[in-house]
Amino acid sequence: MHKKYILFILLSVMILLSMACSNDSSKTKGSSGTASESAAVEAQKAYILTKVEAGTELPDDKLVSAYIREQAGVEPVFIKPPAGTYDEKLNMMLASDEPLDAFIVGDWTEFQKKGMIRPINDLLKQTPELMRTYSKEEWEAVTDKKSGHIYAIPFANTASGNAPRIRKDWLDALGLQVPATLEQFEKVLEAFKTTDKFGENVIPLATHLSVSQMDRAFMGLWTKHGDHSWVDTDGTVKPAILDPGYKDYIAKMTEWYAKGYIWKEAFSQEFTVINDLVFQNRVGVLATWVSVGIGGMNMLMSSHPEAEYVFLDKFEGPAGSAYSLRLPSRQGVAVSVNSKHPEAAMTFFNWSVTNKTNNNVINFGLPNKHWKWLEENKGIIERISGADKQYSGMYSLVQGGLKMASSDNTHLGKLWSDFYKYVSDTSLDLKKPGDYGTNYDEAKIRESVPSAGDIDKFKDKWLVKFITGQEPLTKWDAFILDLRKMGLDKMIEERTRQYKEQNQYH
How many domains are there within the chain? 2
Average pLDDT, rounded, for the chain: 88
One domain for residues 293 and 225: yes
Angle at 368 between CA 364 and CA 372, to 5 degrees: 65
Structural domain includes residue 90: yes
Q: Coil, strand, or helix at residue 147?
A: coil
> In this predicted model, what pLDDT tens digit does every residue of 413-457 receive, in sequence order?
989 888 888 887 878 899 999 998 888 888 899 999 999 989 999
Distances (CA, A) of 276 to 120, 270, 304: 45, 11, 15
> In this predicted model, what pLDDT tens digit does every residue of 279-326 receive, in sequence order?
999 999 999 988 899 999 999 999 999 999 999 989 999 999 999 988
Domain C-terminal end among 405, 439, 464: 405
One domain for residues 421 and 500: yes
Of 42-46, 229-233, 353-357, 360-364, minimum mean pLDDT range: 42-46
Q: What is the mean pLDDT of residues 100-126?
A: 95
One domain for residues 207 and 264: yes
Structural domain includes residue 440: yes
Count CB neighbours of 82 within 10 A.
11
> Taking 70 as the threshold, does the pLDDT of residue 25 lie above it?
no
Cα Rg for the chain, rounded, in angstroms?
29
> Taking 50 as the threshold, does the pLDDT of residue 101 lie above it?
yes
Structural domain includes residue 20: no
Per-residue confidence at 203, pLDDT binned at 50, 70, 90?
A: very high
d(CA 336, CA 90): 11
One domain for residues 114 and 137: yes
Count the helices and strands in the chain (H runs, E runs): 21, 16
> In this predicted model, what pLDDT tens digit does every residue of 10-23 receive, in sequence order?
333 333 333 334 33
Asked if 45 and 74 count as a contact pair (C-beta separation under 8 A), the reply is yes
Structural domain includes residue 14: no
> In this predicted model, what pLDDT tens digit does every residue of 331-341 receive, in sequence order?
999 999 999 99
Domain C-terminal end among 359, 375, 405: 405
- Which of 107, 105, 103, 43 shows the shortest CA–CA distance to 79? 103
Structural domain includes residue 31: no
Domain C-terminal end among 405, 424, 453: 405
**Own/partner pairs, 465-472, CB within 8 angstroms, 24+ separation:** 466/250, 466/254, 467/211, 467/250, 467/253, 467/254, 467/257, 467/262, 467/267, 468/254, 468/257, 468/267, 469/254, 469/257, 469/258
Structural domain includes residue 25: no
Q: What is the pLDDT of residue 162?
A: 84
Q: Coil, strand, or helix at residue 429?
A: coil
One domain for residues 308 and 368: no
Q: Are strands 165-167 and 309-311 parallel, antiparallel or unpaired?
A: antiparallel
Q: How far is CA 443 from the centre of its chain?
A: 23
Q: Coil, strand, or helix at residue 38?
A: helix
Provide the percentage of residues in the chain whose pLDDT is more than 70.
92
Q: What is the pLDDT of residue 416?
A: 87
One domain for residues 146 and 270: no
Asked if 428 and 326 count as a contact pair (C-beta separation under 8 A), the reply is no
Q: What is the pLDDT of residue 33?
A: 40
One domain for residues 203 and 70: no
One domain for residues 176 and 142: no
How many Cα atoms are found within 13 Å in the side-chain-facing hemisphere of 39? 16
What residue numbers bound the domain in which 377 lies? 40-158+328-405
One domain for residues 395 and 496: no
Structural domain includes residue 470: yes
> In this predicted model, what pLDDT tens digit does every residue of 387-411 receive, in sequence order?
989 999 999 999 888 888 899 989 8
Q: What is the mean pLDDT of residues 34-40?
A: 43
Count CB neighbours of 425 within 10 A.
12
> Taking 60 as the threshold, does the pLDDT of residue 505 lie above it?
no
DSSP string, 354-409: SSHHHHHHHHH-SBTTTEEEEEGGGTEEEEPTTGGGT---TT------GGG--EES
Q: What is the pLDDT of residue 290?
A: 83
Structural domain includes residue 278: yes
One domain for residues 127 and 71: yes
d(CA 462, CA 480): 10
Q: What is the pLDDT of residue 426?
A: 79
Report the residue count for the chain: 506
Of 14-18, 104-108, 174-178, 240-244, minimum mean pLDDT range: 14-18
Per-residue confidence at 31, pLDDT binned at 50, 70, 90?
A: very low
Distances (CA, A) of 36 to 32, 41, 368: 10, 9, 19
Q: What is the pLDDT of residue 41?
A: 52
One domain for residues 391 and 448: no
User: CATH number, domain at 424?
Assistant: 3.40.190.10
- Which of 156, 1, 104, 168 shows the shortest CA–CA distance to 335? 104
- Which of 306, 300, 260 shows the shortest CA–CA distance to 276? 300
Distances (CA, A) of 270 to 206, 207, 288, 364, 452: 12, 9, 11, 31, 23
Q: What is the pLDDT of residue 56?
A: 86
One domain for residues 371 and 286: no
Burial category of 276 from C-beta neighbours within 10 Å (exposed 0-12, middle 13-18, buried 19 and up): middle
d(CA 428, CA 306): 27
Provide the percentage of residues in the chain whose pLDDT is more than 90.
71
> In this predicted model, what pLDDT tens digit does every residue of 253-273 receive, in sequence order?
999 999 999 999 999 888 889
